[in-house]
């Protein structure tokens, strides 16, 4: 008896069928290995060609850019500065990858140059050719609508990227016969169409080479790329690069190819089966009359395979066959009931047929994959190809089969970019793109509202033009599909879309496919580094709050939704309150609300979700709708008000004893940290008094012992005991938080005390604005103003290169008290209230090499992220609690509760 189940995959025979050949234009699902009879040689290398970008400079103008400090040169007749384009043209879908460039421009900033020189930051590139920062975009089209793909390429001028054999020689003559890389059967079938419509020639890349190259890159470069999927639960898997190989890559297209991958460019096709996506779609079309693959999948979600499949219980009168371990629900024979029942095809429900067929093929693929993994001693199996399509039940079925046959010894894993493996491999076949040299910390994935989400699906291709995005959001509202804050909450155990229960491996209930796993835009930032002072980068996890806890998720989504109207008001005001600003702000609100609704339905849709990711998404969404700095005017007012009272505060501090001053300084940092426009409790305070009044009230309400109180340990390290004085720290990194009182009355006086003790101080601030956080661009001016009232700050700022561009009016005119210990400012490499220390700026990484003290300030940087982080040097974490969920279940508190956590070097 061959069989399988509700509980067990089918007991197929051991003979693995040969893979069928690809019939051009006939298959609807992406071809897996079915398109190649011959296995590529083991260790075969990818042939590379060179490329040269062609830029249309007509009508060029200088225009400010919200993502960069320096103005961008706008090329109105060339969309996006494209340098590379590659495609995987399958029978069902065209997968397109293109790269939009953002060249690094030299910054004529004497302050920044001085800091770089002092920190030993080299401007030289570690590679033998320039690696350009930019974005990697993923787009897909139906192959049947190939003209839409061609129109998209033409509209963005992707075919004018200048793909030719002249390399990077800018003086080479323009080659009208541009070449683009492509793989898949359509690279042959549609070559003439690309030539006729776009004037480009297709250079065909080997499909297997591309699949492996794409998979290897993703598994090495994307932190949350691979995941398991069992009984509806998705869990991302972090893979050590040193332990990646060997693995089995199962590509499920029309047919199925199984590749044993031993390294970069080292693989062999070890097996395959002709029973794949083409089988499911072909038989399904014949049996159900469905007109598309997705329609067939959707049909399966309403099916009951027991109406078609013969179960063990059907044979044994409802009983188990316990002697050989088969339950009554085991599928003895897929479609077996059709033998014993006197029914015609039309007597069976198409839904039941579709589900039975899906289970039969998915179980079969899972079993054959495991047998091959067993054959080569492989524990890790990755499944890719657009047969899977992010479909929850398909993944559950394959996972169950692998888990069952291996008795839990092998794992089925899936990839978020599963359908783009071939296209990515083709893209990498271009020479000198630099992708193969990039590391995980140099890639940032972001999710613009470029592919509108509604009705449970992502609608593409991406909307690139701002007006197009705004118009779409307005139409979205007009259609009555408006998503407004607060975000609708789905009860636990449902997807929030359709109300299906969470899927079970036994298939008793199915869930709607809450759209495919979303794929964002990969930002390539070669200047990002891992923070060198992390005690163990491999185990470091920045997020403190576990958003897999539904109550935590619901709480934070509600907080973000309730804060949205205030943020919209600030955004409009920052742009002068114009009609255009109001229109963009409303579009931002709807877009961000749509993101929140999407994530509430499927928290893992954008990868592993943490609070830092949510806050980063909000800031990116603001920038997407061209809001440079929503709190700009507020920050300026608060800075001016705080600087006005700074001299009195410094005079008061100088009159204190050393021990009293140290406590007062820490209290000052905690009290000043209350000024946070991201907290509803703090926003309410702004209506009750001035900055100084709130600051004084905050200091009075703080009572020791604090929520976390390690001050005495920190004081002992700083001041010592008795006559024995400890050595001062060599260099301190102060991760600052908010503008206004927070930086001026809190962190600057603390920095001044460290300078007084002979410690170099590096103020670490955001690269981009986020709420009212101070940025690295704003800090030098604040320091320059503070230097007018303080010899110590003035001398340190001069030594650190912060005052070289500033006209300073020193009140006492004396430089005798100036000290050579430098005060410097570096950017952290991010634009969020939180910080992921696996991705910091090159300057910060350089500054950290000689640092022996880290001070993390604020809820975002010290509590919501990095509260549990361990460092190779001393670390002090300071924050005032401003909401009830301080750090999830770890710490809860109320406003005015304080955290002062000190940890000596690990």
Exposure on the CB side of residue 798, measured as CA atoms within 13 A: 15
Write down the pLDDT at residue 810: 43
Write down the pLDDT at residue 433: 58
| Residue ranges in 655-679 assigned as alpha helix (H) | 658-672
Q: Report whether 397 contacts 363 (CB < 8 A).
A: yes
State which H helix or E strand residue 521 sits in.
strand 521-524
CA distances from 159 to 153, 273, 282 (A): 6, 37, 35
Secondary structure of 408-467 in HEC code, one letter for each residue: CCCEEEEECCHHHHHHHHHHHCECCCCHHHCCHHHEEEECCCCCCEECCEECCCCCCCHH
Write down the pLDDT at residue 352: 96
Tokens found for residue 75: 């090329």
Q: Measure the CA–CA gap between 357 and 279, rounded to whole angstroms.
A: 9
The interaxial angle of helices 611-624 and 550-574, nearest 10 deg, is: 30
Q: Measure the CA–CA gap between 198 and 192, rounded to whole angstroms.
A: 10
Q: Is the peptide bond preceding residue 461 cis, with omega within 30 degrees of 0?
A: yes
- What DSSP character marks residue 692? H
Q: Write the burial class of residue 282 (CB in 10 Å: 0-12 exposed, 13-18 middle, 19+ buried).
A: middle
Write down the pLDDT at residue 57: 38
Q: Report whether 279 contacts 340 (CB < 8 A).
A: no
Averaged over successive runs of 10 residues, the pLDDT of the chain (906 residues) comes to 38 30 32 33 31 38 38 38 78 85 54 78 47 77 88 81 34 59 94 94 94 93 90 87 92 92 95 94 94 87 90 77 70 89 93 95 95 94 87 89 88 90 90 67 82 53 73 64 34 26 33 55 88 95 88 88 92 95 93 86 85 92 93 92 93 95 95 70 56 73 90 96 88 96 96 97 96 95 96 94 58 49 94 95 94 96 95 96 57 74 93
Closest CA to 736 of 709, 755, 762, 717: 762
Indicate if 632-903 has the same CATH topology as 226-308+348-416.
no
CB atoms within 10 A of CB 130: 12
The interaxial angle of helices 658-672 and 632-654, nearest 10 deg, is: 170
Q: Report whether 584 contacts 625 (CB < 8 A).
A: yes
Angle at 533 between CA 531 and CA 539, to 5 degrees: 75
**CATH 3.30.420.40 at 226-308+348-416, yes or no:** yes
Q: Which sequence spans correspond to the domains of the chain?
A: 2-207, 226-308+348-416, 438-526+546-609, 632-903
Q: Report whether 325 contacts 370 (CB < 8 A).
A: no
Q: Report whether 393 contacts 511 (CB < 8 A).
A: yes
Q: Report whether 184 contacts 141 (CB < 8 A).
A: no
Ramachandran category for residue 33: left, alpha or beta (phi over 0 → left; psi -120 to 50 → alpha): alpha
Tell me the pLDDT tens digit for each residue of 848-884.
999 999 999 999 999 999 999 999 999 999 998 876 5
Write down the pLDDT at residue 176: 58
Write down the pLDDT at residue 656: 96
Q: Measure the CA–CA gap between 66 and 153, rounded to whole angstroms.
A: 26
All residues at 6 or more sequence positions from 765 whose CB lies less than 8 Å from its CB, including other chains: 736, 773, 774, 775, 776, 778, 779, 825, 826, 827, 828
2-207 in CATH: which number?
Answer: 3.30.420.40
Burial 572-611 (b: 16+ CB within 10 A, else e): bbbbeeeeebebbbbbbbbbbbbbbbbbbbbbbbbbbbbb
632-903 in CATH: which number?
Answer: 3.40.50.10880
Q: Measure the CA–CA gap between 84 and 650, rounded to whole angstroms.
A: 56
- What DSSP character marks residue 879? E
Tell me the pLDDT tens digit for each residue of 218-249.
998 888 899 999 888 889 998 888 889 999 99
């Amino acid at each position: 008896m061959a069989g399988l189940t509700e509980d067990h995959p089918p007991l197929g025979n051991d003979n693995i069928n040969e893979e069928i050949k690809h019939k051009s234009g006939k298959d609807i699902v992406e071809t897996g290995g079915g398109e190649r009879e011959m296995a590529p040689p083991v260790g075969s290398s990818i042939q590379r060609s060179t490329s040269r970008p062609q830029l249309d400079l007509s009508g060029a103008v200088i225009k400010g850019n919200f993502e960069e400090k320096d103005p961008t040169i706008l090329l109105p007749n060339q969309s996006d500065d494209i340098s590379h384009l590659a495609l995987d043209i399958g029978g069902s879908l065209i997968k397109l990858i293109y790269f939009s460039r953002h060249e690094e421009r030299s910054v004529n900033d004497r302050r920044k140059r001085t800091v770089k020189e002092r920190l030993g930051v080299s401007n030289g590139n570690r590679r033998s050719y320039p690696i350009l920062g930019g974005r990697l975009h993923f787009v897909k089209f139906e192959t049947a609508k190939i003209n839409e793909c061609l129109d998209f390429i033409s509209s963005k001028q992707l075919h004018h990227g200048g793909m030719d054999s002249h390399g990077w020689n800018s003086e080479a003559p323009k080659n009208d016969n541009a070449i683009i890389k492509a793989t898949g059967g359509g690279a042959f079938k549609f070559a003439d169409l690309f030539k006729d419509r776009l004037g480009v020639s297709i250079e065909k890349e080997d499909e297997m080479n591309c699949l492996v190259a794409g998979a290897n890159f993703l598994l090495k470069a994307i932190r949350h790329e691979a995941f398991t999927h069992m009984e509806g639960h998705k869990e991302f898997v972090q893979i050590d690069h040193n332990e990646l190989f060997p693995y089995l890559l199962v590509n499920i297209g029309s047919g199925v190819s199984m590749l044993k991958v031993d390294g970069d460019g080292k693989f062999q096709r070890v097996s395959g089966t002709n029973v794949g996506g083409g089988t499911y779609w072909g038989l399904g079309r014949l049996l159900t009359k469905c007109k598309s693959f997705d329609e067939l999948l959707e049909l399966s979600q309403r099916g009951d395979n027991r109406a078609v499949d013969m179960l063990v219980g059907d044979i044994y009168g409802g009983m188990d066959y316990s002697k050989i371990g088969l339950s009554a629900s085991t599928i003895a024979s897929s479609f077996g009931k059709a033998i014993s029942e006197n029914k015609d095809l039309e007597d069976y429900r198409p839904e039941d047929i579709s589900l039975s067929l899906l289970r039969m093929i998915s179980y079969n693929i899972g079993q054959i994959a495991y047998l091959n993994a067993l054959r080569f001693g492989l524990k890790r199996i990755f499944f890719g190809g657009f047969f899977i399509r992010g479909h929850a039940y398909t993944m559950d079925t394959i996972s169950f089969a692998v888990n069952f046959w291996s008795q839990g010894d092998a794992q089925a894993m899936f990839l978020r970019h599963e359908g783009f493996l071939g296209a990515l491999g083709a893209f990498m076949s271009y020479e000198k793109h630099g992708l193969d040299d990039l590391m995980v910390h140099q890639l940032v994935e972001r999710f613009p509202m470029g592919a509108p989400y509604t009705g449970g699906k992502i609608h593409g291709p991406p909307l690139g033009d701002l007006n197009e995005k705004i118009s779409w959001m307005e139409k979205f509202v007009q259609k009555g599909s408006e998503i407004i804050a607060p975000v609708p909450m789905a009860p636990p155990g449902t997807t929030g879309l359709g109300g299906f229960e969470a899927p079970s491996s036994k298939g008793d209930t199915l869930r709607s496919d809450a759209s495919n796993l979303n794929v964002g835009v990969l930002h390539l930032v070669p200047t990002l580094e891992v923070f060198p002072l992390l005690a163990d980068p491999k185990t470091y996890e920045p997020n403190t709050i576990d958003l897999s806890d539904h109550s935590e998720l619901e709480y934070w989504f509600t907080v973000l939704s309730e804060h949205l109207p205030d943020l919209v008001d600030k955004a409009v005001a920052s742009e002068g309150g114009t009609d255009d600003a109001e229109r963009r702000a409303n579009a931002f609100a709807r877009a961000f609300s749509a993101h929140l609704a999407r994530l509430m339905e499927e928290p893992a849709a954008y990868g592993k979700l943490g609070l830092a990711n949510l806050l980063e998404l909000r800031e990116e969404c603001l920038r997407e709708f061209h809001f440079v700095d929503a709190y700009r005017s507020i920050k300026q007012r608060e800075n001016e008000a705080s600087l006005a009272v700074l001299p009195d505060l410094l005079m008061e501090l100088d009159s204190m004893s050393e021990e009293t001053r140290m406590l007062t300084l820490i209290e000052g940092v905690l009290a000043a940290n209350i000024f946070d426009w991201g907290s509803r409790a703090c926003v309410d305070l702004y209506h009750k008094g001035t900055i100084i009044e709130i600051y004084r009230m905050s200091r009075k309400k703080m009572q020791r012992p604090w929520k976390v109180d390690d001050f005495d340990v920190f004081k002992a390290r700083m001041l010592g005991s008795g006559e024995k004085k400890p050595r001062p720290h060599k260099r301190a990194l102060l991760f600052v938080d908010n503008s206004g009182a927070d930086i001026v009355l809190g962190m600057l006086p603390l920095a001044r005390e460290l300078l007084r003790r002979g410690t170099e101080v590096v103020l670490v601030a955001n690269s981009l604005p986020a709420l009212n956080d101070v940025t690295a661009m704003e800090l030098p001016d604040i320091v320059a103003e503070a230097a007018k009232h303080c010899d110590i700050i003035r001398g340190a700022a001069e030594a650190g290169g912060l005052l070289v561009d500033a006209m300073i009016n020193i009140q006492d005119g004396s430089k005798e008290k100036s000290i050579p210990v430098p005060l410097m400012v570096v950017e952290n490499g991010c634009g969020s209230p939180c910080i992921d220390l696996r991705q910091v700026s090159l300057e910060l990484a350089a500054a950290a090499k000689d640092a022996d003290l880290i001070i993390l300030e604020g809820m975002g940087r010290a509590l919501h992220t990095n509260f549990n982080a361990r460092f190779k040097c001393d670390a002090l974490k300071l924050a005032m609690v401003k909401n009830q969920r301080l750090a999830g279940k770890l710490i809860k508190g109320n406003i005015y509760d304080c955290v002062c956590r000190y940890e000596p070097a690990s």
